Amino acid sequence: MILCANCHNLLILENNGLRNTLNCKACPYVYDLTKKIVKTYKNQTKTPDKLVYGGENELKYAAKCVKCNCEIAMYIEMQTRSADEPMTIFYQCVECRTTWKE
């Protein structure tokens, strides 16, 4: 992706038969492609940080712990998937600190 040097709009690839150019649709700027432009990006996977509970976003909820059967758990909601998917709810037992998600 190359931006126009004048107005910073995205340049559009055009081929007139003789050469390839990147043209700005907002102004007369033309970038001649004399060599291949190749950029490789490697996706880096990130490991999630340990869930830290506490602070103003923490809420207590009547949920049964999967390990010690305690009836109270703290929870926090996070958007872990795309925006059109529901939020993920992370729970943490107030007694044994076991963490699970729903």
Q: Tell me if 50 sits within 8 A of 39, measured CB to CB.
A: no
68 is in an annotated binding site: yes
The span from the CA of 2 to the CA of 36, in Å, is: 13
65 annotated as a binding-site residue: yes
Contact 13, 25 (CB under 8 A): no
Q: Answer yes or no: is 70 a known binding residue.
A: no
Which residues are known binding-site members?
A: 4, 7, 24, 27, 65, 68, 93, 96
Which residues are known binding-site members for Zn(2+)?
A: 4, 7, 24, 27, 65, 68, 93, 96
